Amino acid sequence: MNRTSVRLADGRELIYFDDAPGLDRSAPDKRDLPPHRPRPEVRHDPLLDEWVAVAAHRQTRTFLPAADACPLCPGGPDSEIPAPGYHVAVFENRFPSLGGPAGGRCEVVCFTDDHDSTFAALPGERLATVAAAFADRTRELGALPGVEEVFVFENRGTEIGATLQHPHGQIYAFPYVTPRTRRVLDVARDGCVLCPAVAREERGERLVAATENFVAYVPHAARWPVQAIIAPRAHVPDLPALGEDRAVELMRLYADVLRRFDGLFPGPVPYMACWHQAPVAADRDRAHLWVEVFTPRRTADKLKYLASAESGAGAFITDVLPEDAAARLRAHG
């Protein structure tokens, strides 16, 4: 993997991660852009003791552009990535939810220059490059002043709000520990809950797939119509702690799970994928790295919506038996 850092026309950082060295990444960004000065803020909700990011400028972000105007395709007049034929590219989000007075940073991760591809279709060498990029950004962003948690995620499909169709993910460097991570760490005060879950699920009917170091399974109390957790057998806190070989192994299993999701229904399945890592400093010994993938699609033509019980009370009601979902995912291996 080869790493090259450059600057875009407005001063934002763009980092190329290439499958092999020797590629020219010097193409300049020729756009006429004003200096990048994000102005989001974070506000405290005293009722729930949680932080909320307020980023009104995101109302003007790019929304479902035509394929020939995609900002993630290389070299176009509106492209964020000027070099042709890039492999993996990571850049500061032009419309960030964090940064500036709010603290933290938001980045976009492009997995391929092919607009019509998917993460699941990436070749092995590209999965290794993505693994290296995720680990690099986790380390680098975690070292920024004020950053407390690095959260990697991927949204696919207009059904879940993705505004760009080009294969990409995002990384948020939060200036606080997110509510879900705080809750998981609180539950783990008497010991890791995920370690025994992994040992139990790899022998049960909710197992989806497994490799030497990782297990993918549908959780016993799945909240979504189809939901999978991918977790290392070993108790490790984050992606850099895996090391290169295990990180690539995890990426291969992740891609395998995504292919199984796509086999469930006609057409591309909308999904959200979340990479849960330990906070930068606090409670790292209690944190166990895990990835979750889920789709709101419950049948070929029906979506699960988070109505009042889920959105208002936080009480999830699932429409699909988790054991049935696991059987369907196994069948599409």
DSSP class per residue in 108-144: EEE--S-TT--GGG--HHHHHHHHHHHHHHHHHHHTS
Instruction: For residue range 200-229, list pLDDT tens digits in order.
Output: 999 999 999 999 999 999 999 999 999 999
Instruction: Give the pLDDT score at 75.
Output: 84
Q: Which pLDDT belongs to residue 333?
A: 82
- Which residues line the annotated binding site for Zn(2+)? 70, 73, 115, 166
For the chain, helix, strand, coil in percent to 5 are: 30, 25, 45
Contact between residue 295 and residue 156 where contact means Cβ atoms under 8 Å apart: no
- Please give the average per-residue pLDDT across 245-265, as a whole number: 98
Confidence at residue 242, expressed as pLDDT on a 0 to 100 scale: 98
Q: What is the mean pLDDT of the chain?
A: 96
**What per-residue confidence (pLDDT) applies to 302?**
95
Report angle CA 113, 73, 139 to the nearest 5 degrees.
Answer: 65
Name the β-bridge partners of 153: 170, 274
Phi, psi of 293, deg, nearest 5 = -125, 135
Q: How far is CA 134 from the centre of its chain?
A: 9
Q: Is the dihedral of CA 187, 188, 194, 195 positive or negative?
A: negative
What pLDDT is stored for residue 231 in this prediction? 98
- Whether the pLDDT of residue 77 is over 90: the answer is no
168 is annotated as an active-site residue: yes
Q: What is the pTM of this model?
A: 0.97
* pLDDT number for residue 109: 98
In the chain, where the domains are located: 2-331
Q: What is the model's pLDDT at position 67?
A: 87
Q: Specify burial of residue 170 (Cβ count, 10 A radius: 0-12, 13-18, 19+).
A: middle
**How high is the pLDDT of residue 209?**
98
**CATH of the domain spanning 2-331:** 3.30.428.10
- % the chain with pLDDT above 90: 95
Instruction: Work out the pLDDT band at 112, boundaries 50, 70, 90.
Output: very high
Structure confidence by residue, pLDDT tens digits, 7-22: 999 999 999 999 999 9
Please, which pLDDT band fits residue 60 given cuts at 50, 70 and 90? confident
d(CA 250, CA 102): 32
160: how many CB neighbours lie within 10 A of its CB? 15
Q: List, for residues 256-299, the tens digit of each pLDDT value.
A: 999 999 999 999 999 999 999 999 999 999 999 999 999 999 99
Task: Enumerate the known binding-site residues.
Answer: 70, 73, 115, 166
pLDDT for position 269? 97
Q: Is the pLDDT of residue 330 over 90?
A: yes
Q: What is the pLDDT of residue 143?
A: 98
Compute the average pLDDT of residues 150-156: 98
Give the per-residue pLDDT at 2. 94
Residue among 87, 168, 276, 288 flagged as catalytic: 168
Q: What confidence score (pLDDT) does residue 262 get?
A: 97
